[in-house]
Structure 1
Amino acid sequence: MERKLAGAHLTINLGALQENYRLLADKAAPAECAASVKADGYGLGIERVGPALYAAGCRRFFVALPLEGIALRRLLPEVKIHILAGLLHETEAVYLEHRLDPVLNSLDDIRRWAAFAKETGKTLPALLHLDTGITRLGLLEAEIRALAKEPGLLDHLEIEFLMSHLSCADMPEHPLNRQQLDKLKYFRGLLPAPLDKAPLSLANSSGVFLGSDYHLDMVRPGIALFGGNPEPGRPNPMAEVVHLQGRILQVQDVDSEIGVGYGATFRTEKSSRIATVSVGYADGYFRALGNKAECAVNDVKVPVIGRVSMDMITIDVSRVAKEDCQPGGFVDLIGGAVPLDDVAAHAGTIPYEILTALGNRYYREYLEGAG
């Protein structure tokens, strides 16, 4: 009954998610393959995404914030969980209680985590983030050199990996990719022993496809796990995880020169059949998709016409057989003949934003994988 009451149906294929993890892990081997599952598993529900990836073999996870880490720890008591935002102030005891390993992004992070470790009499794990060119989080060269002059600062810390983050991995020919790889190795050499030989991590989803030089000791894919194309401009090697279908509310036969939607930004040029579909920007179907995006009815692509409303879109189904497009039926909005990356391109954004914006009014169905 719940499905019948919802305006749209979101199917999340956990088997495809697991297939994607295995593909990435095989490609990166012998490097370890972690998983980035921040933002509630990229909007797909960490309570299902986390255990599915664990069943596929993942034992190391990255999230943005400690609250995300706590939620994941409740689901997966034995895995490694790293907090990309670093060590939030006055939260050290929470990290220890839930076994959350901070990614140390600054000298301040390092000093506070080291002081807490000394106070507790423990050796505490962490990752050390070196900024090689994205200029976002991480230690710059001057801070790395300063750290090298205080080797005792790290006495109570177990630095598992030195990591950085690629800025242009989705552009394989961009010179910054190689520059960042070389700089990460150079920065490691500035650090005191044994950190000068510490394991390295650099590759995100697209970085996995830059070649084995970039795999180093650990890769950290995110969007590719969820079906986003890590190689823009090439066929997508990843399995489809997300399939979003909107319910048809009404179908109308209209004359030419009829305005459609708010502002009448679309006018029919000939007699047309217009279907109204129960999804809108309140559901994360971006307003920018109006007069740009395509949907599909029985694999026949049809245009979104007029503006996207809060709860509805309108599509031109003149090319679709009447029996295939009736009230109560469904239209493919993401997935099938409408790839996720194409939807993002029509919205002028990236697949990450499309997934993390998915609303909570959908009826969600999870297709279980084999593990």
Structure 2
Amino acid sequence: MPELALPAEDRADGRDKSRAVLTVDLSALAQNWRVLKRRAGDAACAAVVKADAYGLGLAPVAKKLLATGCGHFFVAHLSEAESLRAITPNARIFALNGLPPGSAALFARKDLYPVLGSLPEIEEWAAFCRAEGHKFGAALHIDTGMNRLGLAKADFPAALNLLDAFAPKLIMSHFVSAEDASAPRNRAQIERFEQACALFPAMPASLSNSSGMYLAEAPFFDLTRPGYALYGGNPTPGSDNPMRRVVSLEAFILQVRDIRAGEAAGYNARWTAPSRRRLATIGLGYADGFLRSASCGEIGAEVFAGGAFCPVVGRISMDLSIIDITEAAPLQRGDRVEILGDAICIDDLGRWSGTIGYEILTDLGRRHKRVYVGG
């Protein structure tokens, strides 16, 4: 049987019109880093690229940030740090989740810095450095109110006695409520961090995440650590977003149908048509990061298609979702609908889904056709 010829646009699209298209604008990512670097002033501006660069792809994101001038990176796990080291041989790479037992040699071999947040971690790192006869670098994590990771004030004396065994490269802490500029705990955390810095030997200090960089107190210290804002998330909730959009997500319409008033749609018939409606089924579900919690309910998600916002109706399933296109311009099989883009941002979709934009980003599925522009 002869091979069927396909239109050029179909060949370029991977021949699969049922798969959603995720577009990552690397030039917008770079511009966001530049905006944050200017805001940081004399402080260095790092990039948090944990969780595969918030789901957008560690390699393309890190390479673009390196080319833009970023030289400090933060990840969560040792495995992420190792992957990043393969991309950049010279950047400073910090692993936020600390030192897993028995992993010191791996960190040292690849010149990676564990962020030490407990006495057992500091003791193990110090013992390793003494055994090797070399002061390898590491960071110190101070707990100023999160009660998650980090040294408590009672740990300071013992920690201070161990610092001469290795090379402290950074002292850091993490805000609890930086996205709420009115929260009194922000000022309290800054003061606790300043007090801790005064007790430890002089070294670069870091406190601000994305939202922390927009607090009136401007607690930049020596190094800032933006993550979410780099990827287009709003670091100033309730105000205009100073960041450029980085992510777009479009899905295809697989089928269009008309239903009568009283007919149901989706699993368990959770939605019933109040009048004659036109519905479209799109190739996007919770396996693709379109969260089930965004199904119709008190809030519910919308998509943008045919010049109108179209609500999701019925329950979002693993691979498919149903939208009401009655009020939109005529749409047909094969047309694209916007899930994220100019009309809908990640914070919008997070709110409609009963969560935050961070979860939307990091849950974007692996089945999408990924397109990188501005690289």
| Same fold per superposition (TM over 0.5) | yes
Aligned-partner Cα distance in 1 for 2:199–2:43: 23
Match of 1:184 in 2: 193
Unaligned runs of 5+ in 1: none
- 1:274-323, CA deviations, whole angstroms, 9 ceiling, x for partnerless residues? 0100000111110011111010014421111111011111111111111x
Aligned-partner Cα distance in 1 for 2:346–2:109: 38
Aligned-partner Cα distance in 1 for 2:228–2:197: 28
Residues 1:308 and 2:316 are matched in the alignment: yes
Map 1:70-89; keep pairs closer than 5 Å.
Answer: 70-89=82-101
Residue 218 of structure 2 aligns to a residue in which SS? helix
Aligned-partner Cα distance in 2 for 1:198–1:47: 30
- 1:167-203, CA deviations, whole angstroms, 9 ceiling, x for partnerless residues? 0000000011000000001112233xxx1x3321100
Match of 2:15 in 1: 4
Aligned-partner Cα distance in 2 for 1:218–1:13: 25
- Whether contact under 8 Å (1:81, 1:101) holds in the other structure is yes
Aligned-partner Cα distance in 2 for 1:245–1:300: 15
Match of 2:295 in 1: 290
- Whether contact under 8 Å (1:145, 1:190) holds in the other structure is no
Q: 1:351 aligns with which of 332, 337, 357?
A: 357
Amino acid at match of 2:177: C
Residues 1:229 and 2:234 are matched in the alignment: yes
Amino acid at match of 2:352: H
Amino acid at match of 1:53: L
Unaligned runs of 5+ in 2: 1-10
- Whether contact under 8 Å (2:122, 2:159) holds in the other structure is no
Report deviation, 1:352. Answer: 1.1
State the superposition RMSD in angstroms: 1.2
Amino acid at match of 2:241: N
Aligned-partner Cα distance in 2 for 1:173–1:365: 39
Map 1:116-131; keep pairs closer than 5 Å.
Answer: 116-131=128-143
- Whether contact under 8 Å (2:254, 2:283) holds in the other structure is yes
Report deviation, 1:156. Answer: 2.9
Aligned-partner Cα distance in 2 for 1:278–1:358: 14
Bigger drift between 336-345 and 139-148 goes to 139-148
Amino acid at match of 1:145: P
Aligned-partner Cα distance in 1 for 2:51–2:103: 20
Match of 1:17 in 2: 29
TM-score normalised by structure 2 residue count = 0.94
Report deviation, 1:146. Answer: 3.0
- Whether contact under 8 Å (1:28, 1:212) holds in the other structure is no
Match of 1:341 in 2: 347
Match of 1:95 in 2: 107
Count of residues paired in the alignment: 360
Residues 1:174 and 2:183 are matched in the alignment: yes
Match of 1:105 in 2: 117
Aligned-partner Cα distance in 2 for 1:4–1:58: 37
- Whether contact under 8 Å (2:306, 2:329) holds in the other structure is no
